[in-house]
Amino acid sequence: MNLNKIWHFTFVDNNYININILDIILFFFIIIFTIIISRFLRKRTLFLLNKDVKTSSFRLLINKSLQLFLWTTAFILILSLSIVNFWYLILLDYLIFEISSLDLILTLVTLVVAILFQNYIKILWQNKEDGFLKYIESLFIWILATTITLRLVLSDYSVFYSYSIFTITDVEISFSDILYLIAVIALVGLLISGITKFFTKQTQKGNIDLGTSAALLKVSKYFIWIIAIISVLQGVGFQLSILLAGSAALLVGLGMGIQQIFGDVASGFILLIERVLKVSDIVEVDNIVGRVVKSGIRTTTIVTRDNIRIIVPNSRFTSENLINWSHTESHTRFKIDVGVAYGSNVELVMELLMNCASNHRNIMKEPKFFVRFNNFGDSSLDFQLYFWTNKSFEVENIKSDLRIQIDKIFRENNITIPFPQTDVHISKDL
């Protein structure tokens, strides 16, 4: 038999696939060659790995990339040998999409390269504190990959952007509007993420306090979202002036119906700007002391000493007197009333009270605590122990500790704390 006929003996021969003995031999040769190179690369990578996590991760990534490249190349070569006009075979032709085999391969390669670069960025930034640039680089990679993919799969690239998807009040929404919306949302996410990390870092360094950081962050978020929404509406084609004019009557009616809510929202912005109320402040509302844990745009959440959450409308803080124990200073002055029996040594009493205050760990040394002889009472000599503490939220526990210590030290020094009593004198003339 003629050797040339053997080599070109055809197993499958139709309009799309043509496979002969030579093709099958080449198939086996490609697979064996790919396996040998793959095993060599795997062993070489394991040999080069060391204890450096970043270096090891990078080399593993390179190894996986090469393995993927080898097997993808082998698969493409096999397809090109077996399929007639493989590179120009049209796989999809629908509307604005026209995808050939070459376009599909290049699209897959683009996506694989984007994923590899994404993994490389993760490895590169895994030990960095500030990963804001990581998100920017990742966004740039995927925008570039998406642009390349669209260039490959679209029959007319310009038609894609003007292709109308649906219509809202005579405004046509196209693919370009959807891409613009996605880009704006991604940019807003990046900006908010960066601003949040910036304020968090500044708070940890002590450059700004927690309340100021929360207020500035909240105002920044609202400002960014307002600008983004206006930008999207104008970019899509909505006329904001016409929209506002047409809804003026509705807004007036809505405003009258929810006037109190608008008042609370306006008060929330006033609190954020004037910063009279911040997160972690100790405030007093309706004779109830609590700590501010959340300052929203409409309401503020306060946690009492009994761990009860009180939701207070912001208008209460702007229209009524607000008692803020920690507005400008972190420490607050408190007092304890103490009465001793008549005839007690006044100087000794004052000295013992000062000793009780000096021995308590939560009472500040500066400003210094002091004792005041307040009055000659009906049943006792009345004293007041004044002290400062930055533990305003737990001050009742501090007062309890002081009372226990005062009772103990008075007993040791034979000082009596009298109970209220009244002497009744009966005249003999009655």
Q: Where are the domains of the chain?
A: 247-324, 332-412
pLDDT digits (tens, 9 = 90+) for 19-72: 667 767 777 887 888 788 777 777 666 555 454 444 556 666 666 777 777 777
pTM, whole model, 2 decimals?
0.47
- Which CATH entry fits the domain spanning 247-324: 1.10.606.20, 2.30.30.60, 3.30.230.10, 3.40.50.2300? 2.30.30.60
As a whole-number percent, the residues of the chain with pLDDT over 70 amount to: 68
Walking along the chain (430 residues) 10 residues at a time, the average pLDDT comes out as 55 62 75 79 59 55 72 74 66 70 77 75 61 65 75 65 64 73 78 81 74 72 83 73 60 63 77 77 84 83 87 85 76 90 92 92 90 90 92 88 93 87 68
CB 406 within 8 A of CB 364: no
Q: What is the pLDDT of residue 60?
A: 67
Please state, in angstroms and rounded to a whole number, the distance separating the CA atoms of residues 181 and 175: 10
Give the CATH number of domain 332-412: 3.30.70.100
Smallest CA-to-CA distance from 386 within 375, 397, 378, 374 is with 374
Q: What is the pLDDT of residue 401?
A: 93
Q: What is the pLDDT of residue 59?
A: 65
Q: What is the pLDDT of residue 53?
A: 45
Q: What is the pLDDT of residue 161?
A: 61
Smallest CA-to-CA distance from 381 within 347, 414, 332 is with 347
Q: What is the pLDDT of residue 372?
A: 93
pLDDT digits (tens, 9 = 90+) for 389-409: 988 888 889 999 999 999 999
- Report strand pairing: 282-285 vs 288-295: antiparallel
Which structure tokens are listed for 158? 């310009």
Q: How many CB atoms lie within 10 A of CB 250?
A: 9
Map the chain to HEC letters. Answer: CCHHHHHCCEEEECCCEEEEHHHHHHHHHHHHHHHHHHHHHHHHHHHHCCCCHHHHHHHHHHHHHHHHHHHHHHHHHHHHHHECCHHHCEEEEECCEEEEHHHHHHHHHHHHHHHHHHHHHHHHHCCCCCCHHHHHHHHHHHHHHHHHHHHHHECCHHHHHHCEEEEECCEEEEHHHHHHHHHHHHHHHHHHHHHHHHHHHHHHHCCCCHHHHHHHHHHHHHHHHHHHHHHHHHHHCCCHHHHHHHCHHHHHHHHHHCHHHHHHHHHHHHHHHHCCCCCCCEEEECCEEEEEEEECCCEEEEEECCCCEEEEECHHHHHCCCEECCCCCCCEEEEEEEEECCCCCHHHHHHHHHHHHHCCCCCCCCCCCEEEEEEECCCCEEEEEEEEECCHHHHHHHHHHHHHHHHHHHHHCCCCCCCCCCCCCCCCCC
CB-based burial label for 2 (10 Å; 0-12, 13-18, 19+): exposed
Q: What is the pLDDT of residue 54?
A: 47
CB 214 within 8 A of CB 279: yes
As a whole-number percent, the residues of the chain with pLDDT over 90 amount to: 14
Q: What is the pLDDT of residue 351?
A: 92
Q: What is the pLDDT of residue 55?
A: 53
Task: Determine the longest span between alpha carbons in the chain, in angstroms.
Answer: 158
11 φ, ψ to 5°? -90, -45
Q: How many CB atoms lie within 10 A of CB 394?
A: 11
Q: What is the pLDDT of residue 348?
A: 93
Asked if omega into 313 is within 30° of 0 (cis), the reply is no
